Amino acid sequence: MIGIFDSGIGGMTVARAVEQLLPDYSIVYFGDIARTPYGSKSAATITDYSLRNTEFLLKKGAEIIIIACNTASSVATEALRREFQVPIIEVITPAATKAIATTKTGRIGVIGTRATIRSGVYEQTICGQRPDFHVFSEACPLLVPLVEEGWTNKQETKMIIRRYLHPLKDKQIDTLVLGCTHYPLLTQLIQTRVGKRVTLIDSSVETAKYVRDLLTEQPQLIAREEKGIVTHRYFVSDLTDAAKTVARKIFARPLELILT
Ligand code: DGL
């Protein structure tokens, strides 16, 4: 069983991609809606929440853990790997790897929460492999609450995106990493803003592909369920109408959210 957690509903973009690419695997998801957003909290708090979220998923039977949150991935991955024996998969490496493979100019933009951008993890990962590349990062702290509210196509959201992306305008990037699992819900608005010549990298899709490749190479990581008993369970620490609406939008079907 694949365990996936996020600070809220953004990680469901990863879960949806995993459902699509790995339909024969069971999923247990935990969205910490009661404590979202993580992006404006300290590294110590985010790490503490991530440890508890992982414990919860392991108790539910998870055999591998996907940290479906750039914020938690950027500050808590090492602590989780130290604490737990199961494979811990973060979302930064798959997105950074895809960005490196995609850019033609070596000029890459990254947008994310304050904690992700402050951690410098994308710069370290990208420039660690390609010191000749340039990474330009912008924190976009208002975007997560807007997505959680379901404001994914409002005029106000467009204005805020324009404001956040403005500093990237003169940087001549040709690739932009959506370094937050909430942002795929804003793909259209962001693409319109940056123009067609900039390729968007979705950390959700890249992470799902990474997990698919990992399980193809090491199928023994997960005891495969019999066909027909695949389960997809979505747990949340708070149940709000906005969460239900956004979850339905992500999965394009009504989704049962189970309150822990
Ligand atoms: N979805 C999380 C991420 O990928 C951010 C949400 C939050 O700030 O809680 O960074």
Q: What is the pLDDT of residue 228?
A: 67
Architecture of the domain made up of 2-90+205-259: 3-Layer(aba) Sandwich (3.40)
Ligand 1 neighbour 109 (Cβ under 6 A):
no
State the greatest distance between any 2 C-alpha atoms of the chain, in Å, as a whole number: 54
- Exposed, middle or buried, 185 (CB in 10 Å: 0-12/13-18/19+)? buried
Identify the residue whose tokens are 């324009």: 162
Distance 9 CA to ligand 1 centre (A): 9
Ligand 1 neighbour 36 (Cβ under 6 A):
yes
DSSP-derived letter for residue 221 is G
Q: Which residues of the chain have pLDDT under 50?
A: none
Q: How far is 3 from 79, CA to CA, in rounded Å?
A: 17
Residue 127 annotated in active site: no
Q: What is the pLDDT of residue 166?
A: 96
Ligand 1 neighbour 74 (Cβ under 6 A):
no
In the sheet that holds 64-67, the strands lie side by side as: 88-89, 64-67, 2-6, 27-31, 232-236, 257-259
- The residue type of 100 is I
Q: Single out the catalytic residue among 62, 180, 198, 200.
A: 180
Which residue intervals of the chain bear CATH 3.40.50.1860?
2-90+205-259, 92-203
Question: What ligand 1 atom has the least distance to the C-alpha of 10?
Answer: 1
- Exposed, middle or buried, 104 (CB in 10 Å: 0-12/13-18/19+)? exposed
Residue 180 annotated in active site: yes
Q: Class for domain 92-203, per CATH? A: alpha beta
Q: Single out the catalytic residue among 69, 79, 80, 243.
A: 69
Q: How far is 215 from 140, CA to CA, in rounded Å?
A: 33
Distance 132 CA to ligand 1 centre (A): 29
User: Probe ligand 1: pick from 41, 50, 71, max atoms within 8 Å of CB?
Assistant: 71
Q: How far is 16 from 146, CA to CA, in rounded Å?
A: 20
Distance 6 CA to ligand 1 centre (A): 7
Ligand 1 neighbour 116 (Cβ under 6 A):
yes
Q: What is the pLDDT of residue 226?
A: 58
Residues 6+ apart with CB under 8 A from 48: none
